[in-house]
A and B are shown apart, each in its own frame.
Chain A
Amino acid sequence: MEKALAELGHMDELALMKSPVHNLNAGAKLLATVIYIIIVMSFDKYSLSGLIPMLLWPVFMYQMSGIALRTCFYKLRIVLPLVMAVGLFNPLLDRDIMLQIGGASISGGVISMITLMLKGVLCLMASFLLVATTPFDSLCAALQKVHVPKVLVTLLLLTYRYVGVMTEELAVMTDAYHLRAPGQKGIQFTAWGSFLGQVLLRSMDRAQELYSSMLLRGYHQHFHYAPIKKFGTADAIYLALSILFFAAVRFVNIAEMIGRLFVR
């Protein structure tokens, strides 16, 4: 649990770094990421060669932002098995031969499995990039700009702040529990209710007090965000180039074109 907390803190640190990507307007980054993911998702399940050039955008952006790709792939280890689980059956079920290289035949299922995995990786890279280069408050401010309801945005912001506090508190409690119950795995069923129940009750009271103190400091149902960077020329160029690149890759099979230059 401490590790999860550390990871969350690490994300905050990453988001506060300085780089051309960090400097971009949060809304522009959000929009580009969403378009990127939609385009990646829209590729046909066999168009592996068409999909590969989409890799260039996140790789380039990661380099610009100064965030190591390794950091992102560290996260991938969680999600990749999940995506593979469903794709795993494709080679078994789809055995039409699509391609023969030398003596080996490659079935459609293998190609669609690899495409599926690549799609998962690309989407993850893109959304991780967004979160790692944008402080959460700016992201929330951007969400509000695109008319996501205020209630939801405020709730998101507050919850994000509390997740750290609550995780820390629960981590301390679990430690204490395990120190008193050595050699025991997990929390015994006799303590299921009281363990979380206690935290829940105390936290709800705490939230009430917190709300009172917010009111005392002049809160009335909306937050004032520190002014986020205005949408400027750099953002426009970034957005235009990104979209241009996505469109080019989507409509022209660039990998195949380059390949033709070399093969045959």
Chain B
Amino acid sequence: MHMADALLAPAVAGAMYVASGAAAGVSIKKLKKDDEPAKLPVMAVTAAVVFAGQMINYTIPGTGSSGHMCGGMLLSALLGPYAGFLSMIVVLAIQCLFFADGGLMALGANVWNMAFYGCFVGYFLIWKPIIHSKWFGEGKSALRSRIIAASIIGCIVTLQLGAFSVVIETSLSGITELPFGAFMGLMQPIHLAIGLVEGLITAAVLTFVFESRPELLQEVDEVGVPLEAKRSLKSTVAILAVIAVVVGGGLSLFASGNPDGLEWALFGNAESGYSQNMGLDEENFGVESNVADTAGSIQEKTSFLPDYAFPGSDSAAGTTVSGIAGGAIVALVAWLICMAGGFFRKKSDRTL
């Protein structure tokens, strides 16, 4: 879901920077008010773990494909929404700077799409209400189920919102010719599948934390359920296994061609660090038959264009031809600069 600079118009990118900047400002104020500078190293380490954790791939039972972890929900469940949001910004900034994943100017939009929804919407509208709710009854096992439910619902909903925002931002920028409806038809279903997977992984990690160190989870200690220490993981694993198999079955309908598996096969480990949400990739490689079919049919419906209409004369052609010639010359100059650079550097010793 990381957007590149080229996909955004400056005005849209700027607006998203302002929006994300405002959210960051509020978060920083909150953090300062709570006077929790001690949280800073914890935030940094957790962000680094999430960053590294995105490079691990997890096998999804029943599909043969694999998923990555989502950061937003996990970070806000562990650190709270404000600290989680700031940590996500940092994760995205490092991804952008060092792994070229998402553009520098698009960072504002990326922060909004991935961090804002994951941390604020995910926390205040999903995590907090569900944890405090009476779902699944009373007691510790009910609370555990609520954590699982909140993680899965949270990831799905926030990813859907994020994917929708990507569609809106790209459409507003007017850069792609892809009609709004068709683009949405591509983005939403694939992110439903990705959201499910990420929800499961987030749920697995949070349940583990809940079993061993429940006090680390936000809101959980306020529910007032007596939390005795260490409990067997077996029942949790069993619940997860059932959910995973059911979801895995559903998933296989969605993404039959194990998209991430392919992506891993293509790029290997190093690059996988670049992306937590693979939406655009998968769409590009077009492995999933169903999604591709849907896209095709949507396109059929929306893009009824007249047949090739060759204009008789083209007045603009003259200027454009000179444009192309000039472009070629500029490219030649660029190449010459390279050659010259190489020539001069050969004289001085090359240390690297």
Contacts of A8 in B (CB 8 A): 98
B15 at the interface (CB under 8 A from A): no
Pick from A55, A126, A198: contact of B331, CB below 8 A.
A55
Contacts of A257 in B (CB 8 A): 326
From B200, B319, B327, name the one whose CB has the most chain A CB atoms within 10 angstroms.
B327
B229 at the interface (CB under 8 A from A): no
Contacts of B270 in A (CB 8 A): 1, 3-4, 6-7
Interface size class of A (residues with CB under 8 A): 35 or more
Bound together, the chains give a CA A99 to CA B89 distance in angstroms of 44
A89 at the interface (CB under 8 A from B): yes
The residue of chain A having its C-beta at the shortest distance from the C-beta of B183 within the complex is A86
Stretch at the interface among A77-85, A228-236, A237-245: A77-85
Bound together, the chains give a CA A202 to CA B237 distance in angstroms of 21
Q: Give, as a whole number of angstroms, the nearest-CB distance from A208 to chain B.
A: 7
Contact in complex: A119, B326 (CB < 8 Å):
no
Contact in complex: B305, A78 (CB < 8 Å):
no
Of the A-B pairs whose beta carbons lie under 8 Å apart in the complex, a sample of 5, sorted by A's number, is A163-B51, A193-B237, A197-B209, A200-B205, A259-B323
Pick from A1, A55, A200, A259: contact of B209, CB below 8 A.
A200
Contact in complex: A97, B60 (CB < 8 Å):
no
Contact in complex: B261, A159 (CB < 8 Å):
no
Pick from A83, A101, A161, A189: contact of B244, CB below 8 A.
A189
A residues adjacent to B (C-beta < 8 A): 1-4, 6-8, 11, 13-14, 17, 33-34, 37-38, 40-42, 45, 48-50, 52-53, 55-56, 59-60, 62-64, 66, 69, 75-79, 81-90, 92-95, 97-101, 105, 109, 112, 116-117, 119-120, 123-124, 126-128, 130-131, 149, 151-152, 154-156, 158-163, 165-167, 169-170, 174, 184-190, 192-201, 203-204, 206-208, 210-211, 214, 221, 253-260, 262-264
Stretch at the interface among B41-49, B119-127, B129-137, B218-226: B41-49
B residues adjacent to A (C-beta < 8 A): 2, 4-10, 13, 24-25, 28, 31-32, 37-38, 40-49, 51-53, 55-61, 66, 69, 78, 86-87, 89-91, 93-94, 96-101, 103-105, 170, 174-179, 182-183, 200-201, 203-209, 212-213, 216, 233, 236-237, 240-241, 244, 261, 267-271, 273-274, 280-281, 283-285, 299, 303, 305, 308-311, 314, 316-327, 329-331, 333-334, 337-338, 340-342, 345, 350-352
From B45, B57, B59, B270, name the one whose CB has the most chain A CB atoms within 10 angstroms.
B45
Pick from A195, A211, A253, A255: contact of B41, CB below 8 A.
A211
Bound together, the chains give a CA A62 to CA B299 distance in angstroms of 42
Contact in complex: B337, A63 (CB < 8 Å):
yes
Bound together, the chains give a CA A94 to CA B308 distance in angstroms of 11
